[in-house]
Chain A
């Protein structure tokens, strides 16, 4: 299991199945079915389906986690009735949305109205092909995976704005404009915070970044970067206190006011996909990914799939913090948000870059230990 990646597992699976089929078939078909191209193609497909299923399952679990935890913060129970402790509630909600008709306003632009949410959803899902969940998740053959992940992540404002504009609704338009302004403004500090991590880790490869955290997780020495990154992520995820693009008090539902049925479900799912991606990025960049510190007894880290389990625990814990923030903070205003973004976050993120550079120069810190292999 040590060197197996998810792709190699799916390749072996497809290989075994196709060769089993091929062995009972006559010669011409036999050769075709066992051809390398077909096996590779199907393996990629299976790999994708597994990723899709895993990401969807986690997204829906994430919504459940949010509903339950939010309920507890609010002195209530959250979803209780469908499935054990409401675990199947979100599936029921999803099926309801799936069965509903998609109503498109007469004056809406048909192309943008449908492609906007779809592209938003698709770009959010692409992320899961990039992010390593554990050592055996992908081959680590993406030396710039962090850069790619953030590039895909930053597609969102474009598609949100397209769907908002094509809805032909004033609330949608305002929500879309706010969303675009906010996401672009917070992209800068977010990337600068990432730069701090990259300086210390010396790599853009997420797998390498995780392994660079063997002496200490980056959240301690790069605390400023973590704060900037989490705040930026909150803005990118459009969650309270930065959820003003869909501030329901004044903008009804913001940019997805006109959406219903499955297209709305796309937005909803994509929002939580992005929330999941945000939590995963925090875990990967600052909380040591799937690794655990050496003082943790090896019993807790050596069982099968321990990496994935610990990764999920950390991810849900990080998202729990986001839920906590949502339960306890009011919403800020657009101009305040942008002012904080440009006047506070960017200086802070520059400071974090400076601190990271200082850390690499000093190499060792009293409490945390030494930089494993400063690359830059």
Chain B
């Protein structure tokens, strides 16, 4: 078998979405790779310019379908800055609750997909089973399991229902011993170490030059987490550690994500305690009318109010489960954002594929790309 180009994708089990990894192989050895994205482009940034501020939240759920709430948070933070609106503290805690539960759910989804990539079938279903508990929690207060549409400019749509915090604590109590079980199923196996140690190595300086962020960066030993380095919402009031590893390989990324789930549980316990102790409003009281009632017809009065509303730009950076997501929202006056721009962490992580794939084998592609944690929805937007 001589050298050839192999199209892994756009429809391929390894891709976990819709993109194409062109691989130049020599036998089983990878000589070159060429990632091609764009198969899932839906023009979300352009669509956002045509919608009310709160209607864009709907698109955010579709941007990353496994971490919708994190992307809602990202957009809401930027547009609140652009619109000069400050949410109440309880809403901020609720957003952190959303984001951390979403982080666990996303990492569980990643865990399930990743172990499937190296041929482990049982933990795949364990991961999906436990993720379902979190989706049930989401359903209990957002009404949806995947497309939540929960956050609003100025707060969140509704408070959590009575008894929610206890149910959430039950889920956390169930999850914590599961993480030990996950480790036993993967790290306990010699084959796992044979497959994943020293695989897909991307050192910290390469990560920085390629814009690779998130667990991939932290697995290379660089202590960089936006929740600590550029605290948003109420993360500066919460006590947690940044998950780190220094091997820069697939095993390192695995360890970082598992540790992040544990830290998320830790954060969530604090958040749930805070929510129990501090009842209060979840929406800002001083909202312009055209924002407060986004689905009501905008009358003459609302239009006038809107015209006098101050302009502004908003920037936000959120440590999304996949990495650092950035958003930029321009408010030129008017009920729609003038321009919305996102930075997807996964796009940069995939684009650097040449730096961590070349030299390994075809059979290594699924674990390496699996360890990147791909969500094509946010890559193409």
Contacts and interface: CB of A to CB of B under 8 A. Distances in A.
Contact of B191 (A74, A174, A330): A330
Interface of B is mostly: helix
Interface string A331-362: 11111100000000000000000000000000
Contacts of B338: none
A275 interface: no
Interface string B108-137: 000000011111111011100100000000
Interface in A192-251: 240-241, 243-244, 247-251
B194 A170 contact: no
B291 to A, nearest CB: 46
Contact of A249 (B13, B129, B185, B192): B13
A70 B121 contact: yes
Contacts of A244: 363
A74 B118 contact: no
B338 to A, nearest CB: 44
Contact of B13 (A70, A248, A326, A332): A248
A11 B3 CA distance: 58
Nearest to A240: B119
Contacts of B12: 252
A125 interface: no
Interface in B125-157: 125-126, 129
A158 to B, nearest CB: 18
Nearest to A171: B6
A81 interface: no
Contacts of B124: 74
Interface in A284-333: 326-333
A76 B195 contact: no
Interface of A is mostly: helix
Contact of B189 (A243, A249, A329): A329
Contact of B129 (A75, A173, A240): A75
A250 B365 contact: yes
A177 interface: yes
Given A247-B363, A249-B14, A249-B116, A330 B189 contact: yes
A73 interface: yes
B6 A170 contact: yes
Contact of B361 (A241, A248, A334): A334
Given A75-B125, A250-B14, A333 B364 contact: yes
B238 interface: no
Given A70-B121, A248-B13, A250-B363, 20 more contacts: A75-B129, A171-B6, A174-B1, A174-B28, A240-B121, A241-B191, A249-B119, A252-B12, A327-B122, A328-B189, A329-B120, A330-B119, A331-B119, A331-B191, A332-B191, A332-B195, A333-B363, A333-B364, A334-B361, A336-B194
24 contacts: A74-B122, A75-B129, A170-B6, A171-B6, A240-B121, A244-B363, A247-B119, A247-B363, A249-B370, A250-B14, A250-B362, A326-B121, A327-B121, A328-B120, A330-B119, A330-B186, A330-B189, A330-B195, A331-B118, A331-B191, A331-B195, A333-B364, A334-B363, A335-B28
